[in-house]
Amino acid sequence: MRIALFVTCLADTMFPAAAKATVLLLERLGHEVVFPEEQTCCGQMHINTGYQKDALPLVKRHVKTFEPYDVVVAPSGSCVGSVRHQHAMVAGADAGLAARASAVAARTYELSELLVDVLGVEDVGAYYPHRVTYHPTCHSLRVLRVGDKPVRLLRNVRGLDLVELPAAEQCCGFGGTFSVKNADTSTAMLADKMRHVLDTGADVCTAGDASCLMHIGGGLSRLRTGVRTVHLAEILASTEA
Amino acid sequence: MSSKDVILDRIRAALGAGAETPEIPRDYRRGPAQVDLDLLVERLVDYKAVVHRLTAEKPDTGEPVAGGGVEGSGPQAGVGGARPLDDLDHLAEGRANAQVGVEAAAVRAAIAGILGAGTVVVPPGLPLEWLPDGVHGLVDDGLSAERIAAADGVVTAAAVAVVETGTIVLDASPDQGRRIISLLPDLHICVLRADQVVASVPEAVARLDPTRPLTWISGPSATSDIELNRVEGVHGPRNLHVILAGQ
Amino acid sequence: MSTFLGMPVHAPRGVGHLRGDESFPDAARTALGDSQLRRNLQHATTTIRGKSGRVIAELPDWQELRSAGSALKSYTMAHLPELLEQLEEKVTAAGGVVHWAADANEADRIVTDLVRAAGEQRVIKVKSMATQEIGLNEALEAAGITPVETDLAELIVQLGNDKPSHILVPAIHRNRSEIREIFLRAMPGVDPKLTDDPPVLAGAARRYLRETFLSTKVAVSGANFAIADTGTLAVVESEGNGRMCLTLPETLITVMGIEKLVPTWQDLEVFLQLLPRASTGERMNPYTSMWTGVTPGDGPQNFHLVLLDNGRTAVLADEVGRQALHCIRCSACLNVCPVYERTGGHAYGSVYPGPIGAILSPQLTGVADNASLPYASSLCGACFDACPVKIDIPSILVHLRNQAPHPRTEAAVMAAAAYTMDHPRLYRSAQRAAKLSRIAGRRGRGLPPPLNGWSASRDLPAPPKETFRDWWRNR
């Protein structure tokens, strides 16, 4: 299958390892990955901060960039959530754009959705000999409703010891600009999330969103806990070789 | 321009060309369902009501049911299945035939077991033969709040009960009386007939007449105001006993 | 004139409790520093989430009930003028008197005049969000009338000279030992040997209020539901203080927001299943009272219903935001909100805290008067899932953020960022410059405000050697 990568601006700039892993994983499974270079950012930060007018050109760009492709994947529940639930709204009165945005959204998948629902794979042949806990990010869980798809994929990874995260469904406190505008509240939420991660005894905390991992990882690093954050794509791309 | 006109104009302006009026999806459970009296007892007990089931075999005992343990009981004569609404209305009208099928001796025994002796307020339509010797019935003919509050308890019948929620509804019929009498005494004894029990909230709503004052009671007075845990016993009756007649 | 009068307006300033004194982040900072408060909130919200989850799981048709509740509320909003007039007609026919109040000032005046006309100096009150919203207690006190709150949590708040912090349990921020201290300090005639055992505390409230219930001739209540086709009002409660207020006095005054309508009697079957399970986590709350006008010989013989706008029509005018009027005040969204759980209700400034408050208060007052509230959420979506009438709170938050006044610097940065993102060449050079990491220094500790809020407790990741698109081009 020919799959277009919607890399997300955050993974492109700060977490290329997650994006590379997505490419290598899909290629290993026998698919062709293409990267439309005109893409930049889906506009989620602008939309969620109250700047829909500024986001409009970004939505237009996103739609135009990904329109030609039958299947689009992103290693981010949050950005796919924005495409699926916000782009048509931002298009607003421009009914033509809204319809095109909806069409692109219908073909856009978060990585675990693509693997399980579209490609029908739950065992991707990965090997990752670590004790891992999974944080189901809010937008994967409650906007996309990916359910246990990421967990099903992780359970099939050889060598991986999956440990359940207490209070897993609670937000880590990132929330985009929330972590800046309400830094104190965000920090209090993060403190509880980190405590739960540490309680599991895992050496790796994984998730399907680089943004939440940046937040949790930033806290874990500051406290020198030794627990690493690794994107789900990187775990699924790992092999014994 | 009156405030009524102002508000109505504002609403019309706010709605503009007209808001969406959706179809109401009614695919939740609505129709009559099997009544499970054992479950009713369980739910009442769960919210700290004490239940006394009258049985045909042991009409003179109404042993309290605690936990999930429910006495087995045989069929009791004179009690039919679900009753249509107008039939209920008819029953509520007069004391003479208000409680067909309730074995007075069994109710007497149950009340004696709960109260021993004392004074209870009773609504004007309640059969006085339900009261055991030693329990004085103070018939409410417009009693003062002070006299009601001073009584040891109150005995009423009921209009409807809901299995799923463990709820009893009073509708101020003559055998249930004014709302005040079931409120001030610290003990409420409620005599419920099996044919008044429905499975779900929609069935209860359908049976009730909204023009009557209604009181839905689910367990004794309680509060969730201290650390969000249910604690029994604030302003309403702290003791709720349900005498369940029939099966 | 009539056109002007008939346009929706926001709730007036200077009356009631819809606006806070400080912004949410500032108020939250104070709350976050109170470790006892945080323990109390965590304990209470964890308890209620567990209880509610268990009783909701008992119903196989919970989702169908939510859908019906949501549709019924949409229907009600679309037919509000007809339904309100129908309600008025039915209540009047049953012996009640209906009053219309365009705002808080008018509602306060109507109630005060009614109490005066009854010749009374004291009223008993059932917990009611509407009367808190309009600042009725202050208005009554200014008129020399003593309002006595009879709900246990409201009593704790009133005796403690405190403010409510939760829709359902206004004293949720207090634990049992704090409640004991408040009672010992401020409850006249309290037993000095009072313990902090919850039934003992409840018993103290029972003794304290009994005489007041029996001797007060006017009561003020809110309403959970008003049935348009029968004129029936419903109050859902637990303790029996509601029954006392609705049954014992000679005069009952009920203040109700115009959105509380339910079209038909039978429709109540939906809300009576949704509300208790979502709010207190009970299959049914201990007591629900329903009355239609006046019943001769039973209960208050004078019944007044005050229908309140106070900004609701302004909410209704926003096609996206009007969903906030569907709220049945269960407070499930507060109990599941990770922000509320940590800051408590006072940080929201308004009587409506939590996620629903963050969308309702700014719409009632105009967004400019509560500009920080739409941002008081990480948009995690837990509130939407918990809402028994499916109010899409996260979407409304985003919608209101788009209406909020923006700080000038932030707006400039956002515009510049959008411009850069819309020009791939600029975007690439911005990436390469990795300016952020240079300004930030190691671990981001040198970031300027407001970004230093992040770096106070989190490291920034080390910028990678090459971006993904560089790697893609070079592979």
With an 8 Å Cβ cutoff, are C338 and A13 in contact? no
Distances in whole angstroms, Cα of residue A109 to Cα of each of A118, A231, A234, C177: 9, 16, 17, 52
What does the pLDDT look like over C200-232, one tens digit per residue? 999 999 999 999 999 999 999 999 999 999 999
Domain boundaries, chain C: 28-312, 409-474
Sign of torsion, CA B29 B30 B36 B37?
A: positive
Residue C230 contacts B, CB cutoff 8 Å:
yes
For residue A49, give the nearest of C25, C414, C422 by CB distance.
C414
List CB contacts (< 8 A) between C381 and chain A: 138-139, 141-143
With an 8 Å Cβ cutoff, are C458 and A57 in contact? no
Could you give the 3-state DSSP secondary structure of residue C289? strand
Examine the pLDDT at B73 and tell me if it is beyond 50.
no
Could you give the 3-state DSSP secondary structure of residue C300? coil
| Cβ under 8 Å to B: C residues 249-308 | 258, 265-270, 272-273, 276, 280, 282-292, 295, 297-299, 307
The pTM score is: 0.93
> Average pLDDT over chain C, rounded to whole?
94
> Which pLDDT score is estimated for C448?
66
What does B178-235 look like in DSSP terms, one character per residue? -GGGGTSSSEEEEEEEGGGEESSHHHHHHHS-TTS-EEEE-SSSEE-TTTT--EE-SS
> For the complex shown, is ipTM > 0.95?
yes
Whether the CB-CB separation of C157 and C132 falls below 8 Å is answered with no
What does the pLDDT look like over C408-457, one tens digit per residue? 999 999 999 999 999 999 999 888 875 455 555 556 666 666 777 788 88
Could you give the 3-state DSSP secondary structure of residue B89? helix
What does B39-60 look like in DSSP terms, one character per residue? HHHHHHHHTT-EEEEE-SS-TT
Whether the CB-CB separation of A227 and A145 falls below 8 Å is answered with no
With an 8 Å Cβ cutoff, are C418 and A43 in contact? yes
Angle between helix axes A77-85 and A95-106 (nearest 10 degrees) is 140
Examine the pLDDT at A236 and tell me if it is beyond 50.
yes
CATH homologous superfamily for the domain C28-312: NagB/RpiA/CoA transferase-like (3.40.50.10420)
Pick the range with the lowest mean pLDDT from A46-60, B224-238, C161-175: B224-238
Examine the pLDDT at B71 and tell me if it is beyond 90.
no
Interface test with chain A among C419, C468, C469, by most A beta carbons within 10 Å = C468
Among left, alpha and beta (phi > 0; psi -120 to 50; other), residue C189 is: left
Pick the range with the lowest mean pLDDT from B63-77, B173-187, C310-324: B63-77
Nearest by Cα to C124 from C296, C290, C240 = C240
Domain boundaries, chain B: 104-247
Examine the pLDDT at C49 and tell me if it is beyond 60.
yes
For residue B178, give the nearest of C101, C202, C297 by CB distance.
C297
Parallel, antiparallel or unpaired: strands B214-217 and B167-170: antiparallel
Examine the pLDDT at B90 and tell me if it is beyond 70.
no
Amino acid type, C318: D
Average pLDDT over residues B186-205: 97
The distance from CA C314 to its chain's CA centroid, rounded to whole angstroms, is 17
With an 8 Å Cβ cutoff, are C380 and A142 in contact? yes
In chain A, the domains with their CATH numbers are 2-118 (no CATH), 131-237 (3.40.50)
Q: Which CATH number is B104-247's, of 3.30.70.1400, 3.40.50.740, 3.10.129.10, 3.40.50.10420?
A: 3.40.50.10420
Average pLDDT over residues C14-38: 95
CA distance C423 to chain B (A): 40
Pick the range with the lowest mean pLDDT from C4-18, C87-101, C273-287: C4-18
Residue A167 contacts C, CB cutoff 8 Å:
no
Instruction: Work out the pLDDT band at A194, boundaries 50, 70, 90.
Output: very high
Residue A208 contacts C, CB cutoff 8 Å:
no
Residue C316 contacts B, CB cutoff 8 Å:
yes
Average pLDDT over residues C360-365: 98
